[in-house]
Amino acid sequence: MLAVLQTGRELSGPELAARLGVSERTLRRDGERLRRLGYGIESRRGPGGGYRLTAGTRMPPLLLDDDEAVAMQVGLAIVAASGARRVKEAGGGMNDGSADGTADGPGGIAEAAEQARAKLLQLLPPRLRPRAGALHEALEVGVPSAPDVEAGALSALAQAIYDHRAVRVAHARDGEECTRREVEPHRLVHRYARWYLLAWDRTREGWRTFRVDRLHVIAPTGARFVPRAVPEGAGGEHLREAVRRGRQRVELEVSATPAEIADALPYEELELSPGEGGATRVVAHVRDAAWVPHLLAVLPGTARVLGPAEVRQAVLAQARAVLAAHDEGSTLRGDELERRGAPSPGRVDEDQEPG
């Protein structure tokens, strides 16, 4: 109704009902509902009467109820916060959203979300604007910082997926040489605070996942393709397995419930199962063993490493190094030198006579 009346013309009840394909009774009910939501709908009964938007209304407010307005504000705030800092790749973040970064750049989806969030206030019905404005000022969202993605990149890939058109992409990790691929895009997946593209790589003849923030060139080829059957579990499961292949599997036993563990590590992909004596067995996939102590520190209750053996040894070595660094009279410089096999200043090795 709002779209039809946006032309500025006054339409009679029968004419407007015919345009919308509804009865005049439904038309009257919808018009009344729009007025309750604060929309400027005028209606005049009798011969020559009809429906029109109030004078000066060029763009009608959004047709949202209270809960929908709140949901849009919260959703846009989360998107804006997730790209508030552009992440510089760190060598060993335990989860993909843990690294620090610099300010978000122009053209990113986070910046677009913040702009849309401000515009939303102007498009809401007058009745909802004060509540939405209060929510805008009061809301603070904490999410893992992540590399921002240009809104245009997501839009171009989504259009290629919809049109079934192949694209040429240039993909490069930080510090690595850029590779060019021709791919058939099938899914955009948001996981681990990142945007990924699931595509069929025509060169390597297999499914591949690409981080969208690492695609420096996205050029449609114009060639159409026949969509393939997406791997079992769709993009999310395929991506999870792809990420795990390059990580270290670690098994832990934790004296806490699965719910407590999931609450402590909401952004981690953990496999939780019942253990002995009320404990929970946890399987995690980390970039390397150096991040296991972080897991142990964050997990509720008491946690111990069950395997693999080399990870247990690495964790024990780190624990000994931490204890040694906190011994009375110890210095970090001295401990570091000893770990490298060199004598530390002010100390005498057992097989070294004092000079």
Is 70 exceeded by the pLDDT of residue 56? no
SS (H, E, C) 285-345: EECCHHHHHHHHHHCCCCEEEEECHHHHHHHHHHHHHHHHHCCCCCCHHHHHHHHCCCCCC
pTM exceeding 0.75: no
Determine the pLDDT at residue 99: 36
Give the pLDDT band (50/70/90) at residue 7.
low
Q: Mean of the pLDDT values across residues 340-353?
A: 39
- pLDDT for 190 equals 83
CATH 2.30.30 domain position(s) in the chain:
151-233
261: its two tokens: 């563990």
How far is CA 238 from each of CA 29, 123, 200, 203, 267, rounded to the nearest angstrom? 48, 40, 12, 19, 18
pLDDT per residue over 139-190, tens digit each? 777 666 667 788 888 889 999 999 999 999 998 876 678 889 999 999 898 8
Q: How far apart, in whole angstroms, are the C-alpha atoms of residue 282 and residue 273?
A: 7
What's the confidence (pLDDT) of residue 342?
Answer: 43
DSSP state of 353: -
| CB 220, CB 166: distance < 8 Å | yes
The CATH 1.10.10.10 domain(s) of the chain lie at 2-53
- CATH code of domain 151-233: 2.30.30
Domain spanning 2-53: which CATH class is it, in words?
Answer: mainly alpha
Helix, strand, coil distribution of the chain in percent, nearest 5: 40, 25, 35
Return the higher-pLDDT residue of 103 and 4. Answer: 4
Give the integer Cα–Cα distance in Å for 211 and 188: 10
How deeply is 88 buried, as exposed, middle or buried, from its count of CB atoms within 10 A (0-12, 13-18, 19+)?
exposed
CATH 3.40.50.300 is the classification of domain 248-325 = no
- The residues of the chain that CATH labels 3.30.70.260 are 248-325
Residue type for 64, please? L
Instruction: Specify whether the CB–CB gap between 50 and 8 falls below 8 A.
Output: no
